[in-house]
Amino acid sequence: MEVVAQRKNSYCGVKINRMAFPGLLILLLLLLCSCAEPQLTESSLSTAGQDSPTVHSLAASSGAISLAPGDSVTISVWGQGELSKNVMLDSTGYIRYPLVGEIKAEGLTIAQLEGQLTSSLRRYYTDPLVTVMAAELAGQSYYILGEIHQPGKVNIKSQTTIAEAVAAAGGLGKDAGETAILLRKQPDRLLIYSIPLKYRSLNDNHLASITTVLRSRDILYVPPSTIADVEKYMLRLSGILTPLLDLERGIMYWPQLIDAIKGTSSDVLVK
């Protein structure tokens, strides 16, 4: 498998829903109170001093978790108690629902499944109000690694933001840098996002990144604040990430990873 780098340097601010996320307040207090500046050597790679970090456009798809076989969802229709059901995607990705029959739910987001059910039920009800909630996302998981208190693989039981994931993993380690890396594998490319974790002021861009919802197979990596030997560090990091990403030549995305640590997001074409 050949990996070809293609840089994207366009960034945009996005408006987000300022909802209260569990664990978000704790994490924000932790991050805003982290004011100690790391000691850096001349040859080290540092992430210190990012007052206004660049943020890739993540929030547009922040809630877009795709359903997979084994996942369970709760479906309800306003005023129609008999249609309140908890259904599971079977091994082929289908669900079965009263009046509607079979629906291919695999690959759909919660919003898309709501839309399909609403459209189908219009044959029986006037303007049906359909609500779909994730009950259990049994077939999905993400990794949180690096300078974190409890690194590892985490099963997704409900929609989880980056802030919630960091808080659930025990928070940042004492040597954590100011920027995390989010790696998101797609069929033809690897998206590498720079996620600011520490800042002197909080704005919509910062909130848009840390309230991004993690997807199945995402890797959230928190590098240390100081990297004395970049080449040795990247060899070690590549050895960790390449098997998880199922890429043969992880060394080809080193420049994008280094850029992400410094605060620049990009993507990598995979051929």
Which CATH number belongs to the domain containing residue 95 in this structure? 3.30.1950.10
Residue of 240, 248, 224, 57 whose CA lies nearest to 153? 240
Residue of 245, 251, 220, 264 whose CA lies nearest to 5? 251
In the chain, the number of structural domains is 2
Q: Are residues 225 and 105 part of one domain?
A: no
Which carries the bigger pLDDT value, residue 70 or residue 47? 70
Domain that holds residue 260: 3-64+140-270
Q: What's the confidence (pLDDT) of residue 95?
A: 96
Q: Are residues 199 and 78 part of one domain?
A: no
Cβ contacts of 116 within 8 Å, gap of 6 or more: 103, 108
Question: For 77-94, what is each residue's pLDDT tens digit?
Answer: 999 999 999 999 999 999
- The residues with which 92 forms a beta bridge, in sequence order, are none
Cβ contacts of 83 within 8 Å, gap of 6 or more: 75, 76, 77, 97, 98, 99
Tokens 């059910």, residue located: 117
pTM above 0.85, yes or no: no
Residue 98: pLDDT above 70? yes
Q: Are residues 216 and 91 part of one domain?
A: no
Cβ contacts of 52 within 8 Å, gap of 6 or more: none
Q: What's the confidence (pLDDT) of residue 123?
A: 95
Task: Please check whether residue 221 is in contact with residue 181, taking contact to mean a CB–CB distance below 8 angstroms.
Answer: yes
Q: Are residues 171 and 246 part of one domain?
A: yes
Q: Are residues 114 and 36 part of one domain?
A: no
Q: Are residues 253 and 120 part of one domain?
A: no
| Mean local confidence (pLDDT), 111-125 | 95
Q: Are residues 250 and 183 part of one domain?
A: yes
Q: Are residues 266 and 153 part of one domain?
A: yes
User: 136, 157, 172: which is the final residue of a domain?
Assistant: 136
Tokens 């848009």, residue located: 208
Q: Indicate the pairing of strand 94-97 with strand 101-104.
A: antiparallel
Other CB atoms within 10 Å distance of the CB of residue 20: 6
**Mean pLDDT, all residues of the chain:** 73
In angstroms, rounded to a whole number, what is the distance separating the alpha carbons of residues 163 and 29? 11
In angstroms, rounded to a whole number, what is the distance separating the alpha carbons of residues 225 and 227? 7
Strand stretches in the chain, DSSP E: 3-6, 45-46, 72-77, 85-88, 94-97, 101-104, 130-136, 141-146, 152-155, 179-186, 189-196, 219-222, 226-227, 266-270
User: 136, 151, 171: which is the final residue of a domain?
Assistant: 136
Residue 228: pLDDT above 70? yes
CATH number for position 23: 3.10.560.10
Q: Are residues 168 and 97 part of one domain?
A: no
Residue 40: pLDDT above 60? no
Q: Are residues 219 and 93 part of one domain?
A: no
- The residues with which 98 forms a beta bridge, in sequence order, are none
Tokens 């040859």, residue located: 43
In angstroms, rounded to a whole number, what is the distance separating the alpha carbons of residues 199 and 51? 6
Q: Are residues 43 and 26 part of one domain?
A: yes
Least confident of 82-96, 198-212, 235-249: 198-212
Q: Are residues 25 and 94 part of one domain?
A: no
Q: What's the confidence (pLDDT) of residue 3?
A: 39
Which carries the bigger pLDDT value, residue 108 or residue 55? 108
Q: What's the confidence (pLDDT) of residue 112?
A: 94
User: 136, 168, 184: which is the final residue of a domain?
Assistant: 136
